[in-house]
Amino acid sequence: MYQEKEDYQSWICDKCQKELELTKVKVHYLEGEFEVELLNCPTCHQVFINESLALGKMAEVEQGLEDK
Amino acid sequence: MDLDKLLETGDRCIFKEPPTCAANCPVHLEIIEFISEIEKGDFQKAYKLMEKKIPFHRIIGQICDHPCESFCVRSEAGGAISISELEKAVLEYGAAKPKKVWPVPKKKGKVAVIGAGLSGLTVAVDLDKKGYEIVLYEKTDRLGGRLWDHIGESLKEDNLSEELKLVKDKGISIQFNQELNKNRLTDLLSEYDAVYLGSGGWDEQLEFDPKTFQVGELNLFVGGGIVTRNDSVIFSASSGRRAALSIERYLSKVSLTDSREREGIFETPLKQDVSETEVIIKVEKQSSIYSKEEAIQEAKRCIKCQCRKCMDGCNHLRKFDMSPYAYVRQINHSERIILGTHYANKMINSCTECGLCKEECFLDISMKDVIQDTRESMVERNKMPVSAHDFALKDMAFSNSSRFSLVRKQPSKEQSKDLFYYPLISFSDYVKGLYHGTGKTEYLFYPGCQLPASYPDDVKSIYEYLVGHVKGDVGIYLGCCGAPADWAGRQDLMGENIEAIKKVWEEMERPTFILACSSCIRVFEKYLPEIKVQSLWDIYAEKGLPNKDQIKIPQTLSIHDACGTRENSDLHESVRKIVSKLGYNIEELKYSRERTKCCGYGGLVYYANREQSDGFVAERIQESPHDILVYCTMCKDLFVSGGKRTFHLIDLIYPKDNEDGAVKKMPTLSERHQNRSQVKRSLLKEVWNEDVDEPAQDDYQLVIPESVRQNMEDRYILMEDIQAVVKNAQESRKRFFNPESGDYLASLKREHVTFWVQYAQDDDKVLIRNVYSHRMEIVEE
């Protein structure tokens, strides 16, 4: 899973007013756990997931894990 | 899951069984494939199929007595396919030089073949090819035996001589002018490893095995006229080929009988229904042999017999191109996977479990039952994809929560004076009906979850009608029967639900349930056989309709029966009676009553595979030029969404002024919830005079454009999900901000799903730009 730059470049964390950074984040679903580079706030670490990621790669991985 | 039983079910499917022509061809030419090649104009490939299966195909192809043709099912629809004429055409247009075969070293044993007629020659050539040393004994001075009697228009002397010369060219040893008798045979039996006797002139009685053609325990095998007892060339060739196989097995010291069930001719279980096949007359040849074009036209008449009745009726089986035979194998494979991907999951969740396959199958193979067992097994093994049925199960939980669920006895006479005690006025004909309650709940009206969701304004009218028309008190019970849990294979939830319903039934002193929904009827029959049920439509048919003059413009309707009612022919009659009484004409669909199709909602396919669901809808709605009449809410909603004018019986029985019922749109998922809650509140208020809490005011006033509404439907996102996300974001400021657009983007995890909402604020309004969700979780460090 990865995020295209243009997908996120204009978003900032509203609470911390910080620009988002790409760092490794742990995600899990069912029996699967991975580390992926996702955009998040450097201060509060809330993770940004846009539509194309949620409905694209993420959905694909979810489907794959559900069929395991 | 009992996988042996599963495989047995699949093996009963005759999809892969051979057609009657091939089963009655003693050498089993693959006739459908053969004809298909001709149809494509590929005479060379057709020729190769003849070469592969027919001994001395260049001879037999000209003189075969074609038993296949008398079994051709096309005979009932224009005449049997002229298979023998097609073979002659293929020999003419597709013949290729025989492949050069290098002689195999003759090390496997010595075989004497007595009689150089067709069967003997077949044995000699077949065994020579396999590496046996053959000596042919012939009483005359030439090869071919009775084949020479067939010289005529088709088989020319030159051709026969040429073919027979090929035998000599192989280097098979031939001894002519050999008169054989019993003593000589005894000598040969000790001299050779095996002896084949195919001479039609043999007078001695021989006892032989009808399957292996072995004489007693001897190294002697028979064929030709001794076995066939007729003049058929193709049976003679077949007997030679079968005897050769026996000899080979005998000399290799392996079982003579294993896996030989379908040698020679046999009865195929395949049955082809030609009742709807268009009659096409046999193509007559214009000269002594079919021209290429004539052969192609004749080949086109072939029905290509194959049982596809279930597939013809089922969009799902066709979409996945699965016969029950293949489907069961896929399920078996999927059930056995320990580590790896269960690729069949989506397919298994795309069956509507409507039961048409079983209805169409003369062997009663029920994929509905197979799929149900499979889903239950998947759930048990924790292999059911969660997302497939999650929303439907949440919807069921909603319906059984206090937001919808309700049980009430009929209000007393005093309480309900205004509601039910109504004077009979001729033109209104019991709009509400007379009060004739008894205090004992004889009936419990159970409208199900989808009727109140789609027709919230009519539930009270139906209830009033029932109270006025049936003998005894009518209570009401709002809730969900559990059909979603059943379809999802969730026996755990189903069990709980059934117990809850049973408890109400007992508490109400075992009333008869009046059901409006065909899925409820199915569930009650399956899980609650002790509860007596009656269909709402049967009551309308029996007691009369509440309003007169409903019909405005007489028209013709096609009735789409609900698949849950497949076996309920009384209900089908009631519906037709109501429709006729209302003044409509009926034009039946090809697939109706016990052969009806599913609209595409059944089996929760609507949630698990929307594309498959759409496939069912699209196919069904184009089956009639007329408006469709349904009596299941989901059928109505799906057909209207598909763009087809569709009436629900409720649209006709309780018509609304200024509204065309046939185009009434399906409420959104959120509206379905709201409608159900509204039904509960208005019944409590208006029928039972109870105080009810008004629903809590929404926190935010949402402005949602049509495109986002569509996304909500496709992505199973409710208004309450959006409200919750916005509330959380507004209060915590945990959200993202886009300085360029001024939009916010916020998320909130609710149960197993994380919802994202992109929105903008406009004074007191929240403008929703987009919504989406995912199930994967971010692990908070």
d(CA B64, CA B200): 19
Collapsed DSSP state (helix, strand, coil) of residue B403: coil
Lowest-confidence pick of A34-43, B120-129, B201-210, B399-408:
B201-210
Residues 308-367 of B with CB under 8 A from A: 340-343, 345-346
Minimal Cβ distance to B777: which of A10, A29, A48? A29
Interface test with A, best of B338, B610, B736 (most A CBs within 10 A): B736
pTM of the model as a whole: 0.85
Is the confidence at residue B733, as pLDDT, over 60?
yes
- CA gap B678, B480 in Å, rounded: 16
* Higher-scoring residue by pLDDT: B536, B225: B536
| Mean pLDDT of all residues in B175-187 | 91
B756 closest CB neighbour out of A13, A26, A54: A54
Q: State mean pLDDT over B397-422.
A: 82
Assess whether pLDDT exceeds 80 at residue B576: yes
Mean pLDDT for B761-768 is 93
Task: Please tell me what DSSP assigns to residue B113.
Answer: E
Whether the pLDDT of residue B427 is over 50: the answer is no
ipTM: 0.94
For residue B151, the 8-state DSSP code is B
What local confidence, expressed as pLDDT, does residue B313 receive?
A: 96
A38: left (phi over 0), alpha (psi -120 to 50) or beta: beta
Are B121 and B73 in contact by the 8 Å Cβ rule? The answer is: no
Domain span at residue A9 reads 5-66
Of A33, A54, A67, the CB nearest to B774: A54
B732 and A30 in contact by Cβ < 8 A? no
Q: B264: number of CA atoms within 13 Å, CB side?
A: 17
Q: Please check whether residue A28 touches B, CB under 8 A.
A: yes
Beta bridge partners of B173: B135
What band does B199 get if pLDDT is binned at 50, 70 and 90?
A: confident
Query: By the CB < 8 Å criterion, does A5 face chain B?
Result: no
CATH classification (class only), B701-774: alpha beta
For residue range B26-68, list pLDDT tens digits in order.
999 999 999 999 999 999 999 999 999 999 999 999 999 999 9
Mean pLDDT of B755-759: 98
> Across the interface, which of A27, A30, A44 has its CB nearest the CB of B779?
A27
pLDDT at B200 over 60: yes
Is A6 at the interface with chain B, CB within 8 A?
A: no
Question: Taking CB atoms and an 8 Å cut-off, how many pairs form between chains A and B?
Answer: 90
Per the prediction, chain B carries an average pLDDT of 93
* Total Cβ atoms within 10 A of residue B8: 11
The topology under which CATH files domain B110-252 is: FAD/NAD(P)-binding domain (3.50.50)
Token pair of B727 as six digits: 């509330």
Residues from chain B contacting residue A62 (CB–CB below 8 Å): 387, 774-776
- How many residues are recorded in chain A? 68
| pLDDT-based confidence at residue B417 (cuts at 50, 70, 90) | low
- A61 interfacial to chain B (CB closer than 8 Å): yes
Does residue B426 have a pLDDT over 50?
A: no
For residue B167, is pLDDT > 50? yes
Note the pLDDT of residue B418.
64
**Sign of CA pseudo-dihedral B165, B167, B172, B176:** negative
Q: Where are the domains of chain B?
A: 110-252, 309-384, 392-544+668-682, 556-663, 701-774
Residues of A in contact with B388 (CB under 8 A): 66
Choose from A47, A53, A66 for mutation: most chain B CBs within 10 A: A66
Strand, helix or coil for residue B638: helix
- In this predicted structure, the answer to whether residue B136 has a pLDDT above a threshold of 90 is yes
Provide the pLDDT for residue B431: 45
Q: Which of B774, B777, B781 to mutate to test the interface with A (most CBs of A within 10 A)?
A: B774
Q: Where are the beta strands (DSSP E) in A1-68?
A: 12-13, 18-19, 21-29, 32-40
Nearest to B561 by CA among B553, B573, B543: B573
Checking if the pLDDT of B429 tops 80, the result is no
Pairing state of beta strands B777-778 and A21-29?
antiparallel
Concatenated DSSP letters for B604-633? Answer: GHHHH-HHHHHHHHHHHHTT-SSEEEESSH
Chain A partners within 8 Å of B714 (Cβ): none
Q: Could you read off the pLDDT of B241-294 as tens digits, one per residue?
A: 999 999 999 999 999 999 999 999 999 999 888 988 999 999 999 999 999 999
**The two three-digit tokens of residue A25, written as one number:** 């984040």
CB spacing of B386 vs A30 below 8 angstroms: yes
Residue A48 belongs to domain with CATH number: 3.10.20
pLDDT in tens, B85-103: 999 999 999 999 887 777 7
A63–B contact, CB cutoff 8 A: yes
Render pLDDT for B461-502 as a digit per residue (tens, 0 to 9). Answer: 999 899 888 888 999 999 999 999 999 999 999 999 999 999
**A16 touching B (Cβ < 8 Å):** no
d(CA B770, CA B756): 8
Quote the percentage of chain B above a pLDDT of 70.
96
Residue B202 has pLDDT above 90, yes or no: no
Per the structure, how many domains does chain A have? Answer: 1
Q: Nearest C-alpha of chain A: how many angstroms from B769?
A: 12
Chain B residue numbers with beta carbons less than 8 Å from the beta carbon of A26 are 778-779, 781
Look at the block and give the residue holding tokens 């000596």.
B135
Q: With an 8 Å Cβ cutoff, are A66 and B732 in contact?
A: no
Q: Copy the structure tokens of residue B338.
A: 């320990």
Verify whether the Cβ–Cβ distance B736 to A48 is below 8 Å: yes
Q: Do B387 and A26 touch (CB under 8 A)?
A: no
Give the containing element (helix H, strand E) for B147.
Answer: none
Q: Please state, in angstroms and rounded to a whole number, the distance separating the CA atoms of residues B442 and B510.
A: 8
Hey, are the CB atoms on A54 and B772 less than 8 Å from each other? Answer: yes
Q: Does B760 touch chain A (CB under 8 A)?
A: no
Distance CA B569, CA B581 (A): 18
Segment holding B705, helix H or strand E: none
Least confident of B2-16, B507-521, B567-581, B652-666: B652-666
